[in-house]
Amino acid sequence: MADLCERFLNRQTNLKSLVAGLEGLLDAGEFGDKELRDRWYALWLPLEIRTATGEVEWSPDAAREAEALCSYLHDAIGTETRPRR
């Protein structure tokens, strides 16, 4: 997960790939914590809306939103490293 976020923040992958990858992680994970899922979706939804409206590349706003989501996930599920630019 951190690698996926880091690649987007460093402009090595596009927004659509980030959104699809993060959605896949949530779907694949068995997260029984409703608060975690709700917060994940709340932070993920603006990124999904960007891709649904045709934005697929890196932008400062998308990077800020992605960093917030990835930092939250790092803190919530304890990924090995925090994403960095």
Residue 12, pLDDT > 90, answer yes
Integer angstrom CA distances of residue 42 from 30, 39, 53, 65, 81: 18, 5, 18, 11, 22
Q: Are 22 and 46 in contact (CB under 8 A)?
A: no
Instruction: Identify which of 19, 3, 13 has the alpha carbon closest to the alpha carbon of residue 57.
Output: 13
pLDDT class of 80 with cuts at 50, 70, 90: low
pLDDT class of 54 with cuts at 50, 70, 90: very high
Average model confidence (pLDDT) across the chain: 84
Q: Are 22 and 79 in contact (CB under 8 A)?
A: no
The helix (H) or strand (E) run that includes residue 55 is none
**pTM of the predicted structure, to 2 decimals:** 0.79
